[in-house]
Structure 1
Amino acid sequence: YGAAAGAILVNYLKTYFTGALPELWLYALGAIFIGVTIFLPRGLAGLVRAASRVK
């Protein structure tokens, strides 16, 4: 389910950044991709799993 959630999130962020930063939306989205790759190597599903183990 992580890939589907990620795809939905990417589409939402693209829509948001296209309106909020029309000239820079591509850079903002690229920065998010890089940040997720570096800080969330297991993706959003890995983040949810880790958060559920902490409780």
Structure 2
Amino acid sequence: MEIKGRFRGEICVVGHDERHTVENLCFQNVVRFGKTVTAESPDVTITEYTRNIRFETK
């Protein structure tokens, strides 16, 4: 996926609580404005109640 244009966009991975988690999610080949996205990238938020969230580039 590649994001271009003026809209900055945001990736938020948010689990609600211990019983409602987000798990085993993989983002592959995500590029924002020419830069590869990682979990530490600006506008990426991963909160608690998540597990095994990955960003991969091939």
Asked if Structure 1 and Structure 2 have the same fold, meaning a TM-score greater than 0.5 normalized by the shorter chain, the answer is no
If the length of structure 2 is used for normalisation, what is the TM-score?
0.24
Answer 1 or 2: which has greater helix percent: 1
Which one has more relative contact order, counting CA pairs under 8 Å at least 6 apart?
Answer: 2
Answer 1 or 2: which has greater strand percent: 2
Kindly name which structure, 1 or 2, has the bigger radius of gyration based on alpha carbons: 1
